[in-house]
Amino acid sequence: MNRARRARIVATLGPASRAPGMVKALAQAGVDVFRLNFSHGSHEDHAAALKAVRGAEAALQRPLGVLADLQGPKLRLGRFKDVEISVKPGHTMRFDLDPTPGDETRVQMPHPEIFKALRTGMLLLLDDGRVRLRVNERADDWADVTVESGTKLSDRKGVAVPEAVIPVSALTPKDREDLAFALRMGVDWVALSFVQKPEDMAELKRIVNGQAACLAKIEKPAALADLEAILDYCDGVMVARGDLGVELDPEDVPVAQKQIVRAARNRGVPVIVATQMLESMTSAPAPTRAEATDVANAVYEGADALMLSAETASGDYPLESVGMMSRIIERVERDPMWPSLMGAEHAGMDEHDVDALVGAAGMAASAPSTGCLVVFTTLGGTARRMARERPLKPILVLTPNPNTARRLALVWGLEPRLGEQPDSLEAVTDDAVNSAVKYGLAEPGQRILILAGTPFGAPGAANLLRLAHAPAAASKGRKKS
C-alpha cells in the first residue's frame, strides 16, 4: 500500500461514504486522511465513521489519519414574516436585535458583537456574498445599510464582515462539545474554523493539550493579515477556499492560496488546499478541465494534501473522485518540470543542527544510487523537517507510536509505518535496511539514507545521518547488537 505519489489526499466522510466497505475502498483508491465534518451528522455518525477508518487501517496495514473539522461560529440573520423579501441596489433597511420577524424595512441580526465591530462605510456580505450591503450608520444595537447588489434575502442567511475582526471566540459551545467528543474518540487532527487571530489557535492548543494535532482553517481576511503569527500555533493549515472566496474578491483567492502555501511550506507546516477541487464530480463521473488544472496547480505549488468535500461526503461518485484526484497528482509528479516548479517555493535553511542534517540528507537523496530515506521518529518532528525539503526519493518513517504515524499520514511524501524502537546503532541500520526492502522502497545495492536521534528511544531532534546499502536479500530479523 505504498503511494505512487507524494501529495496526499483528504476525503470527507458522509452519507455516501461512511459505510465500512466504502471507507476501505476509498483508502485503497488513495485516501490518506479522512475528514469528519462536524457541521453535519451526529456524534453517533462520526463514531461509526472513525471505527470504519480504524478497521480499514488494520485491513490495509497502513496508517490512516482522521481529521475532526469543527463547525465554528455561524453568524446569521433572523427570520422574515414572509420567509423571503425582495431587494435591489439602493434598497435601504435596518438590522437590529429585535427578534420580531422582519420585512423589507428591518430584520433581526442577533449578534451584538457584529454591531460593536461595524464602522460607517464597511461592507457586509449576506448569503455567501450573493447580497452585498454598505453600512450607512451604526450603533451598538442597530445598523442602517444600503444594498449594493443582490435580488432577495430569506431566513437565517449567513453574515460576513470581511473588513472587521468580530470579537467572538472561534470555539462555540457546540464546538467545545464536539471537540471533547472527538478527543475521546481519538482523532488525529482537529481543524478550527473561522480563525481570525493567533489567540484563537492558542485557545484550541490549550484545550487539546497534545491529544491531537491542531490545524487552522484560513478563511477570513483577518487571518491572512496575521498569518505568520497564527502559524506559530499551528501543526497544520488549510486553504479553506469556500468561505475565503466569500470574503475576498474572486481574483484575490488564487493569490491568497499562494500566500498561505508559501508561508506554510517555509515553516514546514503541512498545508491542505480545499474546497471545490472536483466539485462537478458530485454529480458527474468526470471533472471539468478547469478542475483538473486546479488540482494540478496545487500539486505544482507543493501542497502537502488536497481535499475532497461534497465529492466524497454526499456525491454520486466518491470512489471515482478519489481515483481521479490520485491520477492527476501522479501525472503532475511525472512531469519533468514538476521538481523545478515545486522547488521555486523551497524554504531557506534554519540554523539548527537538525536542519543542517536534514539538508545534507536531502542533497544526498538526489544521487541516482539512493533508493530511499528512512527516518526514525517518536513524535514526528524530524520526519516533518525532512518532508519540508521535498526530496524526490521516498521517505519511510518508522515510529513505535501509532498516533505519530497517523498524524504523519497528512504530510507530503512520508510513508509512515509502525516499527520497534531500536536500541543501538546496529539495530537502527538493520531495521532501516530490512524495512526499506520489505516495503519495496529500495532495490538491492541501492543506498539508504538513515536519520535517527541518540540516545535511542528518547524524544528529540535527529543528530545522526548514516549511509547503508540494501543487500541482495534482506535479513529476516534484527542482528544482535
**Per-residue pLDDT tens for 371-399?**
999 999 999 999 999 999 999 999 999 99
Q: Show the CA angle centred on residue 67, arms to residues 325 and 355, nearest 5°.
A: 85
C-alpha to C-alpha distance for 303 and 275, rounded to whole angstroms? 14
Q: Are 63 and 405 in contact (CB under 8 A)?
A: yes
Both ends of the chain: CA-CA distance in Å? 31
Least confident segment among 38-47, 140-149, 193-202, 449-458: 449-458
**What mean pLDDT do residues 401-423 have?**
96
CATH architecture of 8-72+169-343: Alpha-Beta Barrel (3.20)
Which residues are catalytic, by number? 35, 76, 217, 275
C-alpha to C-alpha distance for 355 and 364, rounded to whole angstroms? 14
Least confident segment among 147-151, 317-321, 442-446: 442-446
Q: How confident is the model at residue 261 (pLDDT cuts 50, 70, 90)?
A: very high
How many other β-carbons are positioned within 10 Å of the β-carbon of residue 402?
Answer: 14
Q: What are phi and psi of 246, to 5 degrees?
A: -75, -45
Q: What are phi and psi of 401, to 5 degrees?
A: -105, 110
Q: Are 442 and 371 in contact (CB under 8 A)?
A: yes
Q: Pairing state of beta strands 305-308 and 271-274? A: parallel
Q: What are phi and psi of 303, to 5 degrees?
A: -60, 145
Q: How confident is the model at residue 478 (pLDDT cuts 50, 70, 90)?
A: very low
Indicate the DSSP class of residue 145.
Answer: E
Q: For residue 213, which of 332, 304, 98 has the smallest C-alpha distance?
A: 304
Strand partners, 214: 190
Average per-residue pLDDT in the chain?
93
Q: How confident is the model at residue 476 (pLDDT cuts 50, 70, 90)?
A: very low
- Listed in sequence order, the residues at least 6 apart from 51 whose beta carbon sits closer than 8 Å to its beta carbon are 20
Evaluate whether 8-72+169-343 and 353-469 have a shared fold: no
256, pLDDT greater than 70: yes
Q: Between 253-267 and 289-301, two packed helices, what is the crossing angle to 10 degrees?
A: 30
Grid cell for residue 437: 526492502
- The pLDDT of residue 397: 97
Indicate the DSSP class of residue 477.
Answer: S
CATH architecture of 353-469: 3-Layer(aba) Sandwich (3.40)
Domain boundary assignment for the chain: 8-72+169-343, 84-160, 353-469
Note every long-range contact of 49-53, with CB atoms under 8 Å and residues 24 or more positions apart, other chains counting.
49/13, 49/18, 49/23, 50/185, 50/186, 50/187, 51/20, 52/13, 52/18, 52/19, 52/20, 52/23, 52/24, 53/13, 53/23, 53/27
Q: For residue 464, which of 372, 313, 305, 357 has the smallest C-alpha distance?
A: 357
- The pLDDT of residue 421: 87
Q: For residue 231, which of 253, 259, 206, 263 has the smallest C-alpha distance?
A: 263
How many other β-carbons are positioned within 10 Å of the β-carbon of residue 153?
Answer: 23
Q: How confident is the model at residue 346 (pLDDT cuts 50, 70, 90)?
A: low
Grid cell for residue 285: 463521473
Q: How confident is the model at residue 348 (pLDDT cuts 50, 70, 90)?
A: low
- The Cα-based distances of 263 to 215, 256, 342, 433 in angstroms read 14, 11, 14, 35
Least confident segment among 364-368, 400-404, 439-443: 364-368
C-alpha to C-alpha distance for 196 and 428, rounded to whole angstroms? 44
Q: What are phi and psi of 393, to 5 degrees?
A: -100, 150
- Listed in sequence order, the residues at least 6 apart from 131 whose beta carbon sits closer than 8 Å to its beta carbon are 87, 125, 147, 149, 150, 151, 152, 153, 157
Just give the CATH number of 84-160: 2.40.33.10
Strand partners, 134: 123, 146
How many other β-carbons are positioned within 10 Å of the β-carbon of residue 474?
Answer: 16
Considering just the CA atoms, what is the radius of gyration of the chain in Å?
Answer: 24
305 by Cβ neighbours in 10 Å (0-12 / 13-18 / 19+) ranks as buried
